[in-house]
Amino acid sequence: MPAPASRRLVLHLALVDCRPEISLEMPVTLNDWKREIGDTARLIDEVSHELSDHALTSSVEMEVMGTR
């Protein structure tokens, strides 16, 4: 029987308030979310920070731990 294909579950967030301390491989806890989302352990997979004329923002891509 072939091994099951791995699934990569990704969550994308755009943060209005920049969080420059956010970095790759940082573990994430999502508070005040539905239990199905908040109870899942995640790691930051991609992060970017952007400075515009109006704001400094962060964009974060997280994956469920153990799905790589």
Q: What is the pLDDT of residue 3?
A: 46
CB 57 within 8 A of CB 14: yes
What pLDDT, in 10s, does the model give residues 3-20?
444 455 677 777 777 778
Q: What residues does 27 pair with on adjacent strands?
A: 43
What pLDDT, in 10s, does the model give residues 9-48?
677 777 777 778 888 888 888 888 888 777 888 888 888 8
Q: Is the pLDDT of residue 54 over 70?
A: yes
The two beta strands, 42-51 and 56-64, are antiparallel
> Could you please report the per-residue DSSP string of 6-50?
P---EEEEEESS--TT--TT-EE--TTS-HHHHTS-EEEEEEEEE
The Cα–Cα gap between 44 and 64 comes to 9
Mean of pLDDT values over 49-62 = 85
